[in-house]
Amino acid sequence: MSITMYEIAIPSFTKHLDALDAILDKAAAYAEAKKIDPEALLWARLYPDMYPLKKQVQSACDFAKLSVGRLAGLTPPVHDDSEKTFADLKKRIAETLAVLAEAKPEPMEAAATREISIKAGPRELTFTGKEYLLHFALPNFYFHAATAYDILRHNGLEIGKRDFMKRL
């Protein structure tokens, strides 16, 4: 039995974006309960040269929507990274989930052997669709989703692996 590109990408992105959405709800409630300015959490980071929480969420959304867009032939929405609140970030997640819901299996399967070239900083990277999904898109998505989780956990939010994994 083989697993398809669609079966790898869509459930993985969807599950973890749903989890991230629920974690943001907990973060907003935590900020209110502890009388913490929500903006302090949105700008929190693990180290000075790392992206803050809000950029981690934006990046996780971008990797999900852009990779599915490239693989499924969709045009994902463009965001200007202007989110200022937890509600704004949740809206971005919802818009990303809507892109994922539009994806169809057939175009994604056709993309498995198609060449995909992307700019990564000053470099141009070229992959087959399968390599792109497995070795670039998914690892980057998980990095940003996990870092968002880590920032909130580091700042005292009582969340655990079940929150990140969603359906354990």
Helices of type H across 45-167: 53-72, 86-102, 105-110, 129-132, 138-154, 161-165
The highest-level CATH class for domain 5-165 is: mainly alpha
Prediction pTM value: 0.95
Please give the helix or strand (H or E) that residue 115 lies within, else none.
Answer: strand 115-120
d(CA 61, CA 87): 15
pLDDT at 26 over 80: yes
For residues 72 and 111, the answer to whether their CB atoms sit within 8 Å is: yes
Q: How many CB atoms lie within 10 A of CB 52?
A: 17
60, 148 in Cβ contact below 8 A?
yes
Q: Tell me phi and psi for residue 79, to 5 degrees.
A: -115, 145
Query: What is the pLDDT of the chain when averaged over all its residues?
Result: 96
pLDDT tens digits, one per residue of 125-154: 999 999 999 999 999 999 999 999 999 999
Domain ranges (residues) in the chain: 5-165
Assess whether pLDDT exceeds 90 at residue 76: no
